[in-house]
Structure 1
Amino acid sequence: MTAIDPEEPTPEERACGEITKLRYMQFRERESSSAELGFRIEAAKMPGGTLQKNFKKIRTYED
């Protein structure tokens, strides 16, 4: 979570150094395309090579 958004954890979560799985899954869904598109893009591969893109922040069709 902190690798994607260092400001996301609450002060309590920072003090404990941990978050619940539910909290992480809700964060991940909100930050990815799951909430808007109904699915999450994890990776893509183009013929003849790989597509180098960070898919963690894709939220809309335009992204």
Structure 2
Amino acid sequence: MAGFEEAALERVRVARARLQAAHEADDAFEEAQAAEELEDALRVAHDHGVATDAGDGR
């Protein structure tokens, strides 16, 4: 796996974990930031042809 692809997938993984943690902590501000980061990470991965298991076709 190429370095960029690995980094993109790691960014998505970390963003998902951050979103889950914020949700579990009932932290609305952190959850909003984490959701934004995840959206951006998925967009970058998609734009560069990196397949994720987003469930939204990305």
Compute the TM-score of the two structures, normalised by the length of structure 1: 0.31
The structure carrying a bigger helix percent of its residues is 2
> Structure 2 length as normaliser, TM-score?
0.33
RCO higher in structure (CA 8 A, sep ≥6): 2
Larger Rg: 1
Q: Which has the higher strand share?
A: 1
